[in-house]
Structure formats: C-alpha cells, structure tokens
Structure 1
Amino acid sequence: MTTHDAIVLGAGGAGLMAAAIAGQGGARVLVIDHAPKPGKKILISGGGRCNFTNTGCEPANFLSENPHFAKSALNRYTQWDFLALIEAHGIAWHEKTLGQLFCDGSARAVVAMLLEECAKGGVEIRLETAIGEIGHGDGLFRVAGAVAPALVIATGGPSIPKMGATGVAYDIARRFGLAVVPPRPALVPLTLSETERLELSGVAVPAVAEAGGARFAEAALFTHRGLSGPAVLQVSSYWRPGEAVVLELLADAGRLLREARARMPRAGLKAALAEHLPNRLAEALAARIGIARELGNTPDAELDRAAGMLGALTFHPTGTEGYAKAEVTAGGIATDALSSKTMEARAVSGLYAIGEAVDVTGWLGGYNFQWAWSSGWAAGVALAERAAR
C-alpha cells in the first residue's frame, strides 16, 4: 500500500482545485477518478468554452438548507481570485450577459490549467480507478490500495449521468454517518401535461419566470415537452412538485393592448400581440385567451383579462426532465455536518466534502463552478495545514 497525506475522490473542478492547493502547500495528494479523463463536466460546459465564474458571484446566488454556509469559502476565495489564476495562465476570456465569464477558446484550457497546478504540487492522479470499498480505522482512510489520514469527497452529484455521474458521494457520506439533504435535479427543463403544453417547440421569448418565491428575467424557451430556457432553468431549482410556474411575457400588457385598440381597432388580438412577441407565440396566446372579436369591439374588462394572462401566464409542471438534462444537482451532503471554513466533517476527523456533492447549489451562469473553486480551495488549504502538523 502507498501512503499519502490526502486522497481526493473525483478529478472534477472541485477535486482538482483542492488537490492543487493542498499539494502546493506541501501535502502528498492522490486523486482517484473512475473516468478515463479528468474534468469531463468542465469540458462540456458553456458550449465547450466553460462558463468558469461570474463577476456578480456572492452567497445570495446559492441555495442551501443553510444559506449562510457558503459565505466563508466564497468570501475567502472569490471570482476575482480565480480570474487572476486564469490570466496568470494566459487564458483569454470574455464576458457575456449577466457577468458570465467564458474562455475565448476551448474549455480544455481550464482543465490543462488545473492539471498544471496539480503538477506544481506533485499531485498524483489515477484515472480509470474504481473507488471500491472504503476502509477506515486508526485515523486512516483506505481506498483502492492507498492509505491517507484525510479523504475528500469531490465526486459531484448524479446530474448528467451520461458523463458517468453518480450519487456515490451520498453513499460515502452515509457510510460515515453524515446526513444527506434529498438530492433533486436543478437547472433543469420542466415538463408540462398535453393540456398545458403549447405547441411552440423552439420558440424563445424574453420573460420573467417565477416559482418558489424566486424571479428571474431572462429568456424562456418552449419545448416539445414543456418549458426551458435560462429563466425557467433558474426557477427550476426553487420549484417543487405541485407548485405553479408563472411567466410574465408582457409587463405592461394592459397599456399595450389599449394602445393597439386605439391604433388598429379592426385588428384582432393576435395582431396586437405579434407586435411584441414571436408570431407563433402570439397566435397560440390569442387562441388560449379566446377573444374572437376585433380590438375596437373588445371591452376593457376583456382586455384586462387578456393582460392578466400575459402578465402571469401560469403553468403547472408535471415534473422535470430529470438528471439526464439537469446541469447540476440540488441537495446533497448536509452542511450542518461540515465546517464552513475547512469543509471537514465535524464528527469524522479527516473527512471532507466539497463542490456539487455538498448541499450548495448556484444559479445558472458560472456560479456552480465558483463554488467548486472556492470550496476546493478551502479544503486544500485545510489539508495543507493538516499535513504540516
């Protein structure tokens, strides 16, 4: 058996970050992953360009049973710290909407950067290696023939199973007595029943989506199964089965309809809506609202009813498209069991959990990667300090 100061399970963003920081701090680190290549989710993110962080990142952009848990790591290793690392490696980047930062080139540059940082710290990485049974005794963890006094759970959540993602993090946590907040797909398209579904697959429109007390103003996309697009993906993390999702398509619909009635009294509702919405959507909404008469003959009460629907188009999703289409997993290892400073389990010395495996879930737009970097950094610093003792 070989002996290390720390074994990191998972060669994703959080795991590689923790390993690099710990290794450069003097710890002997081994990273184990079942995949043939490291950083698989990084490689497919952002259309292959990796939305690696967000300029507006702050703790309020994250969901958790304990909304305060993420503050320590996020404040100690910020988006600006990671951006400085990106620039130190000469990786060109650009900002898209809402503070989202992407590589100019391929996401492979981010993986290469993390591997280079690991190499600086002498980190050993074993790929295509099954975790198998984890042994624990005498203050040591035993995994795949390796022994260390510290073990880091960085295996992520079950979202995107085609990438090999599983819920093994939760199995390991339970093995050591840590509670798990029930996981669920997040940042995921929502499905609708046939009666509520609009046959508008591919139509996108600016909207404000609301669910679970959260509101996001971005694009909403109608799909052949239901609803998607950034605004809907955002609220999907807050949505719970049985709740409604509301889309505000026209914020000042009452005024717009009255103005249309004054300008073109012989036109129908579809024509008025088509001035502000895609034609197919205008047609579908006009049919749903059901005003058949010309605008000039439509009383205020009917226009107000139409405006109400346009300002709060309500759907009752039947569910989500599941982990296969979810960008991340909400829920996970309960934060009550962990130190917010070091990410170490309070009741199990030497056991750490970071990244998506933990009950901290960010908004769409680079926030989840920042949590990976920040939580990985926090654990890496703690591992280096542990090894130095």
Structure 2
Amino acid sequence: MSRSLQQLSELRQQIDRIDLDLLRLANSRGSLALEIQQLKHERGLPAYAPERESQILEQLMTANAGPLSDDAVEDIFHRLFQHSRFSLKPSNSMATEYQGESKVVSIGSIEIGNGQAVFMGGPCAVESEEQVEQTAQWLSQLGVSILRGGAFKPRTSPHSFQGLGRDGLDMLVRAARRYGLATVSEIMDPRDLDYFIERVDILQIGARNMQNTPLLREVGRSGKPILLKRGFMSTIEELLLAAEYILLEGNPQIVVCERGIRTFETLTRNTLDLACVALVKRLRAFPVIVDLSHSLGRTDIMLPIARAALACGCDGLMIEVHPNPAKARSDGQQTLSFSEMADLISGLQPLLEFLKREKSPSVWNLAEESFA
C-alpha cells in the first residue's frame, strides 16, 4: 500500500472512532435530557425553555474555532434540541397520558372526541343582538351544538372592526342559552379571563396566540375546556408543545383546531393540513376540530373538504355562519348563509351516518382494522 493510501486509511479510522464517540455522547446527552424533563414534570415546570437553547447556542458560537461554520453548528444542535424536547420526551412527559386511546372533552351533554362529529357554527364576529339571535335559532334547528362568535377580534389592521368586547360576549351567551347551545369564543387578554370563565363554555386560543405562553398558562389554570388553534406558521411539534403548557397547569380538557397554515398557494386563504389531524390523534390523542372557514377562505369547495376532514378522523367542524354574509363586518367571503349551512350538513349526512353506524371515529381506523 502506498504511503498516501495508508494515510487515507488511518484518517478514515480516526473519523470512525470520532463518529462512535459522537454517538455515545449524543446518547448520553439524550439520557440527561430525559432526566431533566422528568424533573421539570415533577415540579410542574414548562417542558420547553427556548431561552435555554439560545444560551447554549450562544456559548457554542463563541467556542467554535472551525472549520465548521456557525450556521452548520447551529443546524446540528437545533436537530439535537428538537430530538430532546420532542422525540425523547414523551416517555417521561405528562403528555404520555395523552397517547393511545382517544380522549373525550365534555361540555355538559356535548362530547368532543367520542367518534361522532360535533359542529361549531356562528359569525366571525358578534355584530348585534339580532344577528347572533337569528344565527343561534337557525343553527339549533340544524343540530349544531356549539355557537361560535368573536367578541374580541385580533385583526391585522388596527383600523378594522375589533369586535364589541364584553357586550358582544354577553350577546353571544344570551343567544346560546336561549336555544340550548354551548359557546366558544376567543380570549386574547388574561385580564378578561374571569369574565370569560363565568360565561363561556370553551375558551378559544386563536392562531396568533398559540405561542403566547403566559396566556396558555392562565387558561390552563382555569380548568375550562380549551380550543387551541394551530398558528398559521407553526409546526405540529410547536402545536403539541403549546398544548403541553396547558396540560402542565393541570388542565387536560384540550381540543386542538387545525385551521390551515400559510404556504405559497393563493387560491385558498391558507392550506389545510389534514396530516395534522391524523398526527395529533396518533401522537397525543387530543380531539381535533377542523376550521373550514379560515383554512379555505372560500365557500365553494367547503363540502368536499369537510368530507375529507371527517374521513381522516377529525372530531368536528368549525364553520362561520351569518344571516347575510355579504354584509358581514369581517370574513364575509368565507362565511356560509343559513341555507348554505343547511346544504352543507345535508351533504355530509351519508358520511356521518356511515361513521355512526360503524361506531368508528374515522375511515382511517376502519382501513387499519381491515388490513390488520
């Protein structure tokens, strides 16, 4: 063997030894991360500490002498962080309790996650007593069980309609109670929490607030059922970690809402990620609701997408409904009229009857059983 080939072989052997050392060190790091997660769980501390990751990266960048670039170092350690906080965590996390059998969230006699679809309908924003009264009356006749409506509206523009605030919330609750409906409405400010707790059945965390950890902790302590909407630029991992903030406050009554994510597509308002439905139910077994209105931003394809959502296992649908969508003060283009809502529910009946008859939450489960 020539000297150059022998030198090449020796260098490769050194790399092999370093690779084995790296593997041992990575596994040692993973074991320590598991211990840390266990200690955090025992003490009720948040599982995810982004400031700690930032501190580690800063130390590594300072110590990096090359030839690896800082970007390469950051990429390598981001992957380690991700594995530690998500892939390894479930065996010692509180979220372990939410793997396997599907969980059911109860609101009075309403059950979300029992294998039968629940409908949440109502206006994007509460605009008047008459509007929400008409909507509640009509939806109750269609079999919708939960009245949705925004009283505090997070709008992109500060000049857009911001909602009627507490007056709007009271209108929503009065109409719902009159027609035997439960209520869901978005809370944005922890200072309004007591007011919401006394009146609203389900507290909604909107997409913009999915990573508002102080708000997540506060609603977690409330003990109320929580509808947690996925952020439009958030991964499924980030969604589950947001849910864990609520869990760690002792509140297991979480319903996850997939409402579409932002992509380069322009024909829909967002891109509905139905894989999220299947993955959340597989990884944590939370009930999952699909928001058809915000994911699509249009009404003409709502029926086939609703069928697809139910077929892949979602536990219910959230749909914006208004007496006159053309005059709605927000999101009229994605809102159904009363007759359109009736047509949608009618069009879903064959699938709903099939799922009910088979007593299975999804066609996916039926397929798994058939080919097992």
Please, what TM-score do these two structures have when normalized by structure 1? 0.20
Q: For CA contacts below 8 A with separation 6 or more, give which structure has more relative contact order.
A: 1
Identify the structure with the greater strand proportion. 1
The structure that is helix-richer by fraction is 2
